[in-house]
Amino acid sequence: MSIAGPILEARDLTKRYALGQTTVDALRGVSLTVQPGEFVALMGASGSGKSTLLHLLGGLDRPTSGEVILGGETISDLDDDAATRLRRDRTGFVFQFFNLIPLLDASENIGLPFTIAGQDPRRGEAADRIRDVLGLVDLAGKERHRPDQLSAGEQQRVAIARALVNRPDIVLADEPTGNLDFTTGGEILEALWRSCAQRGQTIVLVTHDAKAAAYADRVEVVQDGVIRDEIVLGRRSDHAASPLIARLAQLGL
Amino acid sequence: MTGLDRLAWRSLWARPLRTTLSVIGIALGVAVLFAALATNAGIEAGIGRTVDDVMGRSDLRVGAFEEHGLSQASLVAIRATPGVAVAAPLLEQRTYLQRDPLATSAASADAYLAPVAVIALDPAIDGAVGGIHEVRLAAGLGLPSGRDAEALVPAAFAHDLGLELGGSVTLLGVNGPVSFKVVGLLAGKGPDPTTGERTIIVPLAASAALFGPRGVSWVDVTLAGSYTVDGVAAALDQRLTFEPYVLSDRADLAATLQASTAGFQAMTALIAAVTLFGGAFLIFNTLSMTLSERVREIGLLRAAGASRRQIQRLVFCQALVLGVAGSILGLLLGFGLSILIAGTVGSLGEGVPIDGPVVPLPGVVLAAVIGLLVTFAAALEPAIQAGRISPIEALRPPVAGRSSIASQMRWLVAVVVTVGVAGLALWPIGLGPAGSGADPGATIARPLLVYAVLLGVTLLTPLILGPLGRLAGLPFALFLPAETRLSRGSLARDRKRTALTVGALTIGLAMIVALGSLAGNARAATEAWLTDVIPGDLVATSIRPISADEGVAQQLAAVGGVARVSPIARFAVAFRGVRLDAAAVSGSDLATDGRLTFVAGERRAALTALDAGGSTIVPRAIADEFGLQVGDTLQFPVGGGEAVAERIVGIVARGMPGQSGEAVLLGWPDATGRFGVLGADAFAIRFAPNRATDAGPTLAATARGLALEPTPLAGIEGAISDAFGRVFGLFDALALLAVVIAGLGIVNTLTMNVYERVREIGILRAVGLSRRQVWRMVVVEAGIMGVVGAFLGCLAGVVLGFALGGVAGLGWASGAPTIPWLTIGLAAAFGIGIAMLAAFQPARIASRISIVRAVQFE
């Protein structure tokens, strides 16, 4: 989709939860824009509100106030059917835990959006796209492996391939390396970065890890439900974390 | 209560839906078991009461064998026999009412159609307070004169007939209508409960006007002082030489009634056993599921220092709570259910005597103990598996299906066999002392056979679940391909759980189909029986014997369109000390009409010999019972120390229907010349081809003009079919409870599947599956289970129907097995429907899963 201006825009988002007798303000007036093809990281400590923000950006949850605009369309007040179509056609998700259907093999897991839409993922363009993303995440030859026959990193790459297969406007990844060792985590981030660099895929990554955030073009630091700071790193192929770490240190984070 | 015991309690409390379903599952099993016990105990008590009602205060009954009854000489001889204190003669005859259109309302017209039983007694010695047969009056005076044309009518029957005290009731007599003045209304049914409410009591002296001069049907005797039944019976044998008779005492009558209810009692026991089987499935499945859900929790407890024994105790504690709650609820439900069953059974009329359910204390204990036993047996395997969970499991991601299918199925076999054998062994004890008369062998054979078939199907289920599930999914895949694909995957996730769930549904449906098959067989056998032996399209019955020289048969045959009129008389003969039904028939008519299926002997020769005399044709059932063969000579005593010899010339598949079974066939020369039969009491009338419709009304009018009541064969078959319908309808209702239990099992399994897949459903929703699609996915999952269960259930039901049809002892349900297609269709639709209905709540839960919470859920 070619749109002039931001692909994603959040305007003054708040999110309030009831927790027993008290209420918790998870987000308190967050505004954010993401440009097409941009890789943005939302960084913050546990409980800072970064995952809540990601859920609102992807239409998984509704804000208490404010709005989210994706590709020029407000998605924060969609009814359930429209939100479902949005998730199926225009967004892709990668979660921290392995998020695969254990009974389906890698290829079938990747083809889920097609299956759900009533298409046969084994035929036509769907099959081509699955082959394409399998190559992108470096899993060619493992199409028929079930999740329990894949390593943790491979499973997460299947999840990335699934998120990419529908060529969504935006991929939202919530701590995709949180459960992985350093090397495997690196492979996942490489895969995400490649999709961004080679295919122009817009990505929003949530992480608490500076090394992961260093893959992004821009890092938004979330703290206590607000965006505390923005650190622009630019498109870099070395993904060195030191400039980001230095900047965070300057901020006292 | 230790800390862990409290944990068991809290764990059940935390999962209210599953706990409730499990308790209801056990409760329904216990309820049906208890209801069956209470009903059967009620029947036993009903038998005792019926014996009291029939025999009154008498100790012995001298019954007439012959049509013309016991003579005055016999009555005098009985009274003169030492040891006889009181001898009360009774005459019982069937006749028809005559309605006076001017005196009675049109609304009561229907009540006049069916025959009535007239009981004639001697009011001087009987039929009052203190007599042998006590007659309780609701209004009026009784029979004060003892000889006038006065009648007592049950108050309810009088109401139906539109009769009032002081009014007049007209009965059809041998010489035309006779009117009786209604001088009293009875509080109950009358002195003979086997005749039902349609009874009219008249003085013996006044009965001659109705039925002509004839002997009494029986004489009831009370014994004096220290005389014994055997002693007086021996003395009567010496003195009664005037005509054949049969002696029966209270024990004989009880045995006869027990034999007539044995099939019914066995069937209720069988259904109870099967329902409990379903209940065992549910509890086994529930505890296994709870365990697989709590593997990590138990791992944590183990890591925190809990011993294997403590963990096992935890599981047993839960089972105990479920078992006790289920058993208590089951006993309460069972009592309510037994009242409903007793009401239905009571409305069946003469067949099964029951006033209401009787709560046998041993039955209460047995039902509760079996409920607990089933729960504990089902908990054994999950408890052992729980004890084997290592602390390390707490650190691993959850895995489905801890134990192999083979090991679970082995346990299932053990559970079912243990519970089945224990239940069956304890069954007679549960009925209480009254139940000791039932034949335990016959009762146990059928449940064992049923258990074996059901267990076989259950064991087969996991093996064929895969291919069958794929086939069952095809119709759903046509409309909902995505949902069907996801559903099939989910069912394949834990094959043993799916197999157990499908197994419970299979069992319930198998019982419904098997009962349908049995009912169909019984109806078909009855219809085939009548068609096979009655040489006519309708039967005209008479209340008095019509001798050949009266020309009645000729008058009937003269009606245009009538091809043949064949006289039939039903009477009784004595053979080897027991009463046998006999029928006088015309061999040539049977030969011409092509009736009777010969299994031994040459057809034409046998029927010719029958008309020649000195020959008899016996039904196969009687030949088998007494070990008779063609060529054997039977000796029938006829009084005065004499006996009539009849040679068997043929054995037929079915004989004429008699009073209490099939009748041996004798020719008319023997019946009138040697057995004292006075004439025909029925005529089988065959119409010429295609003349039944136009000749029917004329024939009916002619028959009624001759004081005969015409009944088409189809009408007799229809009445029998109705009776079967009511009995089997009751059984079906009980079997439906087994399907309801299966439905609960499906709710349980699907809910569990949904809870286990919270994250997975979350992912599917995140990827774009709509709420409706999630909902449909769960419903399709249930639908596939329903289709598989329906297929296997119907298959097992047909096998069971064939197998049960072949087991001896189901007299009313034997015959060539048929496949009950209608029942199969209904059962399959019901099974699939209840499965999909059961999916409603789990589907609702699944469709409401929050994506955000699901993806955070680990």
pLDDT tens digits for range A218-245: 999 999 999 999 999 998 888 888 989 9
Q: Which residues contact B255 (CB under 8 A, 6 or more apart)?
A: B437
**Is A250 part of any domain?**
yes
**B768/A101 CB distance under 8 A:** no
**Any idea what the Cα angle at residue B802 is, between residues B446 and B510, rounded to 5°?**
75
**Residue B640 binned pLDDT confidence (cut-offs 50, 70, 90):** low
CA neighbor of B734 nearest in space, from B44, B38, B36: B36
Residue B176's DSSP bridge partners are B173
Flag whether pLDDT at B161 surpasses 50. Answer: yes
pLDDT at position B214: 81
CA dist A56 and A79 (Å) reads: 14
Sequence-ordered alpha helix ranges (H) in B181-294: 204-211, 229-239, 250-293
Q: What is the pLDDT averaged over residues A186-197?
A: 90
Q: Which residues contact B619 (CB under 8 A, 6 or more apart)?
A: B651, B652, B653, B654, B655, B662, B663, B664
Residue with more model confidence, B756 or B534: B534
Check whether residue A21 and residue A56 sit in a common domain: yes
Q: What is the pLDDT averaged over residues B332-353?
A: 74
pLDDT at position B811: 43
**Residue B587 binned pLDDT confidence (cut-offs 50, 70, 90):** very high
Pairing of strands B662-667, B578-585: parallel
pLDDT at position A114: 86
The identity of residue A35, as a single letter, is Q
**B852/A100 CB distance under 8 A:** no
Q: Which of A84, A87, A115 sits opposite B482 (nearest CB)?
A: A115
Q: B771: which chain A residues are within 8 Å (Cβ-Cβ)? A: 80, 84
**B493/A102 CB distance under 8 A:** yes
**A116/B773 CB distance under 8 A:** yes
**Min Cα–Cα distance to chain A from B20, Å:** 27
Interaxial angle between packed helices B771-805 and B495-533, expressed in degrees from 0 to 180 and rounded to the nearest 10: 40
CA dist B298 and B294 (Å) reads: 6
**B481/A97 CB distance under 8 A:** no
**Any idea what the Cα angle at residue B329 is, between residues B325 and B335, rounded to 5°?**
150
pLDDT at position B401: 45
Residue with more model confidence, B41 or B806: B41
Residue of B nearest to A171 (CA): B767
Interaxial angle between packed helices B229-239 and B72-80, expressed in degrees from 0 to 180 and rounded to the nearest 10: 130
Check whether residue A49 and residue A64 sit in a common domain: yes
A60 at interface of B, judged by CB pairs closer than 8 A: yes
Flag whether pLDDT at B125 surpasses 60. Answer: yes
pLDDT at position B813: 40
Q: Which of A87, A97, A103 sits opposite B489 (nearest CB)?
A: A103
Least confident residue range of B63-77, B445-459, B811-825:
B811-825
**B858/A97 CB distance under 8 A:** yes
The answer to whether the beta carbons of residues A211 and A241 sit under 8 Å apart is: yes
Flag whether pLDDT at B248 surpasses 50. Answer: yes
Q: What is the pLDDT averaged over residues B793-814?
A: 67
Q: A174: which chain B residues are within 8 Å (Cβ-Cβ)? A: 855
Dump pLDDT digits (tens) for B174-226: 777 888 989 888 887 666 655 667 888 888 888 888 888 888 888 888 888 88
The identity of residue B19, as a single letter, is T
**Is A188 part of any domain?**
no
Q: What is the pLDDT averaged over residues B252-259?
A: 73
Neighbours of A196 (CB within 10 A): 21
Check whether residue A71 and residue A17 sit in a common domain: yes
Residue of A nearest to B485 (CA): A115
DSSP A7-67: SEEEEEEEEEEEETTEEEEEEEEEEEEE-TT-EEEEE--TTSSHHHHHHHHTTSS--SEEE
Flag whether pLDDT at B148 surpasses 70. Answer: yes
Q: What is the pLDDT averaged over residues B330-343?
A: 86
**Min Cα–Cα distance to chain B from A228, Å:** 24
CB pairs under 8 A between A and B: 71
Flag whether pLDDT at B408 surpasses 80. Answer: no
**Is A192 part of any domain?**
no
Flag whether pLDDT at A48 surpasses 50. Answer: yes
**Is A193 part of any domain?**
no
Check whether residue A215 and residue A241 sit in a common domain: yes
Q: What is the pLDDT averaged over residues A50-77?
A: 91
> Quick one: tokens of B731?
């059984």
pLDDT at position B14: 75
So where are chain B's domains? 1-54+258-438, 83-219, 527-717
**Min Cα–Cα distance to chain A from B278, Å:** 30
Q: What is the pLDDT averaged over residues A26-47?
A: 93
The identity of residue B703, as a single letter, is A
Q: What is the pLDDT averaged over residues B283-295?
A: 71
pLDDT at position B664: 92
Dump pLDDT digits (tens) for B694-707: 888 898 888 888 87
Flag whether pLDDT at B480 surpasses 50. Answer: yes
**Residue B817 binned pLDDT confidence (cut-offs 50, 70, 90):** low
pLDDT at position B320: 87
Flag whether pLDDT at B676 surpasses 50. Answer: yes
Cα–Cα distances (Å) from A138 to A95, A99, A141, A143, B64, in that order, read: 19, 19, 9, 11, 100
**A93/B493 CB distance under 8 A:** no
Q: What is the pLDDT averaged over residues B141-145?
A: 72
A102 at interface of B, judged by CB pairs closer than 8 A: yes
A109 at interface of B, judged by CB pairs closer than 8 A: no
Neighbours of B576 (CB within 10 A): 10
Percent of chain B with pLDDT over 70: 82
CA dist B611 and B585 (Å) reads: 8
**A103/B490 CB distance under 8 A:** yes
Q: What string of H, E and C letters represents the secondary structure of B422-443?
A: HHHHHHHHHCCHHHHHCCHHHH
A99 at interface of B, judged by CB pairs closer than 8 A: yes
pLDDT at position B318: 84
Residue with more model confidence, B307 or B694: B694
pLDDT at position B144: 67
Q: A130: which chain B residues are within 8 Å (Cβ-Cβ)? A: none
**B766/A88 CB distance under 8 A:** no
Q: Which of B481, B763, B851 sits opposite A101 (nearest CB)?
A: B763
pLDDT at position A205: 94
Least confident residue range of A87-96, B147-156, B298-307:
B298-307
DSSP B40-73: HHHHHHHHHHHHHHHHTT-SEEEEE-STT-B-HH
Interaxial angle between packed helices A182-199 and A152-165, expressed in degrees from 0 to 180 and rounded to the nearest 10: 20
Q: What is the pLDDT averaged over residues B356-363?
A: 77
Dump pLDDT digits (tens) for B520-548: 777 777 777 778 888 888 888 887 778 88
Interface of B with A in 487-546 (CB under 8 A): 489-490, 492-493
Q: Which of A51, A84, A101 sits opposite B768 (nearest CB)?
A: A84
pLDDT at position B814: 45
Q: What is the CATH number of the domain that holds A252?
A: 3.40.50.300
Flag whether pLDDT at B757 surpasses 80. Answer: no
Check whether residue A70 and residue A1 sit in a common domain: yes
As a dihedral over the C-alpha atoms of residue B614, residue B615, residue B619, residue B622, rounded to 10 degrees, the angle is 50
Flag whether pLDDT at B107 surpasses 90. Answer: no
Check whether residue A109 and residue A70 sit in a common domain: no
Interaxial angle between packed helices B3-14 and B308-346, expressed in degrees from 0 to 180 and rounded to the nearest 10: 50
Pairing of strands A202-207, A170-174: parallel
Flag whether pLDDT at B398 surpasses 60. Answer: no
CA neighbor of B807 nearest in space, from B396, B453, B336: B453
**A102/B765 CB distance under 8 A:** no
The answer to whether the beta carbons of residues B555 and B536 sit under 8 Å apart is: no
**Min Cα–Cα distance to chain A from B764, Å:** 8
**Residue A145 binned pLDDT confidence (cut-offs 50, 70, 90):** very high
Q: Which residues contact B670 (CB under 8 A, 6 or more apart)?
A: B584, B613, B614, B615, B616, B644, B646
Residue B709's DSSP bridge partners are B541
- The domain tally of chain A equals 2
Write down how long chain A is. 253
Q: What is the mean pLDDT of chain B?
A: 79
Check whether residue A3 and residue A48 sit in a common domain: yes
> Quick one: tokens of B156?
């309810």
pLDDT at position A100: 81
Check whether residue A69 and residue A136 sit in a common domain: no
Q: A101: which chain B residues are within 8 Å (Cβ-Cβ)? A: 486, 489, 760, 763-764
CA dist B38 and B23 (Å) reads: 21
**B855/A95 CB distance under 8 A:** yes
Q: B764: which chain A residues are within 8 Å (Cβ-Cβ)? A: 101, 112, 116
Residue with more model confidence, B441 or A214: A214
B767 at interface of A, judged by CB pairs closer than 8 A: yes
Flag whether pLDDT at B431 surpasses 60. Answer: no
Residue with more model confidence, B95 or B526: B95
Least confident residue range of A119-123, A135-139, B257-261, B839-843:
B257-261
Range of the domain at A32: 1-88+170-177+202-253
